[in-house]
Amino acid sequence: MSLFYLNLLRLVTFLPIFAIAAEPEPPQRFNVCQTLKSKFPARISFPTDQVYTQSLESYYSGQERALHPRCIFKPTNTAEVSTFIRTITQGQYGKAAAPFAIRGGGHTLFGGAANVDGGVTVDMRAMNNVALSADKKVAHIGGGSVFSEVYPQIVPYNRTVMGGRVPGIAVGGFTTGGGVNFLSREHGWSCDNIYGYEVVLASGQVVYATAALYSDLWLALKGGSNNFGIITRFDLAAFEQGIMWGGVINFNYTKEVIASQAKAFSDFMTPKNFDNAADVGIILGFANNTFHVGDSLFYTKPIANPPVFKQFLDIPSLPGNTLSLDNVANTVTSFGRFLPDKLSRGTELVYSFHNSDVALYSQLISTWESGTKVLAHIPGIQLQYLIQPQPVTNGTNSLGLTPGQTDIVLCVITGAYANAADDAAVLKQLQSIVSQHESILRRKGLYIPYKYMNYADITQDVIGSYGHRNKARLQDVSRKYDPNGLFQTGVPGGFKLFT
């Protein structure tokens, strides 16, 4: 479904000269940027520089664009990242002279996830090298690589990696948070399929973590986010992949269509109907006081209209679907056309549960419909409720999920709107809808506590949802490799381990 968002004029308040003079820039933080500039003249940009402005404007959400780091550092290799860590800690192991953020694609909605006010933002996107191993089974990908730029480089070899399904998603946050891909019903989360990480630790030391070397760190990075170091290279499984089928199909929003969608999805998620090549999403939307519904259907084999999707395809649809046979790179580009390039403001919350009958989905959708109407007066409001399968994990991660489960559903409710003044109201109502959904699921014994990081809001306890044992293990790994907590306090954004 095409979405559009309001562009707002920002009001600039000019302060009197004496007020400006009364609040000088913190000299310590200023000196950090100047010191970095002396070491990396071509890598540091300031608010007056075009490179700085371009980096800031490329964040997906208004919340992240509203933050203004004192400078932005754009490394091009691992040695530069190591020097950066040693510089910002000023030789004091684990203590930062200024807060910093680690930025890849910049797609997380809440502020501070990959940007920092008054500190240093490390923009990793210049570290975007891509190389396949000699046997084409491993893709070596730079720590700032964007998957929509990776796919075209490996499609000629009939290979793919488990990256984002829409353009602009980078490897760092995506894989360290889990990662959902077209192949996730067959191979699990993206993080389940990473062989090795090159990581710069809090000391500036560079290590290569695998299942055999630094294995505790290797496992922690599979769901542990930005809590352990700056990852400068990812070695991902490269899967054989030729032409696939998929796209988006839209429908009139009627009771009959919604009932048919509920039945089709419930049946699709029944284990006896499991097809590991199939990925589906029901996309319910609300904008301009009107409801919309569409399906994203993808099949990783070169088969048009595969039988597993028959119930969805039998629902009377609107003209103009994008279902086609194509390679992964083009499929991702096409899917991205249904999303806005940026959001003025945005909030999303996530939850998961075991599949059930048609009545459950009807109840969840009805509750969502009622909840959306409360926000109808918000300027620019557009709401989305996405219902999709959760990856079938192989267990090679820190997420605390049972391997091999094919009936887990992953839902995300998103609100996009125009004004920062409405942040609290939108979040409160989305939380209310999710709370009602979770209460329904708990009463039916279907709820699972896991929260998928990449769809979660900062108010949700993602790390805690992995379970006490996994959280404790992640904390132990942090204490071992980052004993003074550089990536807990020096990198304040994101989901932290000791909160």
Digit-coded pLDDT (tens) for 357-367: 999 999 999 99
| Separation CA 351–CA 356 (nearest Å) | 15
Spatial CB neighbours of 443, under 8 Å, sequence gap ≥ 6: none
Percent of the chain with pLDDT over 90: 91
* Radius of gyration from C-alpha coordinates of the chain: 23
| Separation CA 352–CA 429 (nearest Å) | 19
| Separation CA 129–CA 76 (nearest Å) | 10
Q: What pLDDT does residue 95 have? A: 83
Q: With bands split at pLDDT 50, 70 and 90, how would you rate the model's confidence at 93?
A: low
Beta strand residue intervals within 368-474, DSSP E: 382-389, 408-417, 447-448
Helix (H) or strand (E) holding 239: strand 239-240
Average pLDDT, the chain: 93
Alpha helices in 199-343 (DSSP H): 215-220, 255-268, 310-313, 328-336
The residue type of 151 is: Y
Helix (H) or strand (E) holding 438: helix 423-443
Residues 204-262: tens digit of each pLDDT: 999 999 999 999 999 999 999 999 999 999 999 999 999 999 999 999 999 999 999 99
The residue type of 31 is: N
Strands in 138-142's sheet, in edge-to-edge order, are 130-132, 138-142, 230-237, 194-200, 206-209
> Looking at the predicted structure, is the pLDDT value of residue 30 above 60?
no
Q: How far is CA 348 from CA 285, 413, 451, in A?
A: 14, 5, 12
Q: What pLDDT does residue 24 have? A: 40
Q: What pLDDT does residue 90 have? A: 86
Residues 117-141: tens digit of each pLDDT: 999 999 999 999 999 999 999 999 9
Task: Give the pLDDT mean for 94-119.
Answer: 95
What per-residue string of b and e applies to 451-473 under the rule 16 or more CB within 10 Å gives b? bbbbbbbbebebbbbbbeebbeb
Q: What pLDDT does residue 488 have? A: 97
Residues 172-215: tens digit of each pLDDT: 999 999 999 999 999 999 999 999 999 999 999 999 999 999 99
> Looking at the predicted structure, is the pLDDT value of residue 28 above 80?
no
Task: Give the pLDDT mean for 462-489.
Answer: 98
Q: Distance of alpha carbon 174 from its chain centroid, rounded?
A: 5
> Looking at the predicted structure, is the pLDDT value of residue 427 above 70?
yes
Judge whether 118 and 68 are in contact, CB under 8 Å. Answer: yes
**CA within 13 Å, CB half, 415:** 32
Within 10 angstroms of residue 307's Cβ, the number of other Cβ atoms is 11
- Label the pairing between strands 120-123 and 100-103: parallel
| Separation CA 424–CA 432 (nearest Å) | 12
> Looking at the predicted structure, is the pLDDT value of residue 67 above 90?
yes
More confident residue, 319 or 13: 319
Judge whether 70 and 118 are in contact, CB under 8 Å. Answer: yes
Name the nearest CA neighbour of 323 among 293, 285, 295, 283.
Answer: 295
| Separation CA 143–CA 192 (nearest Å) | 17
The residue type of 47 is: P
Within 10 angstroms of residue 155's Cβ, the number of other Cβ atoms is 16
Q: With bands split at pLDDT 50, 70 and 90, how would you rate the model's confidence at 443?
A: very high
pTM: 0.93
Q: How far is CA 471 from CA 101, 155, 218, 398, 461, in A?
A: 22, 38, 15, 8, 11
In sequence order, the β-bridge partners of residue 160 are 239
> Looking at the predicted structure, is the pLDDT value of residue 390 above 70?
yes
Q: What pLDDT does residue 348 have? A: 98
Task: Give the pLDDT mean for 333-351.
Answer: 95
> Looking at the predicted structure, is the pLDDT value of residue 16 above 60?
no
> Looking at the predicted structure, is the pLDDT value of residue 23 above 50?
no
Within 10 angstroms of residue 476's Cβ, the number of other Cβ atoms is 13
Q: At what angle do helices 328-336 and 147-154 cross, to 10 degrees?
A: 150
Residues 154-172: tens digit of each pLDDT: 999 999 999 999 999 999 9
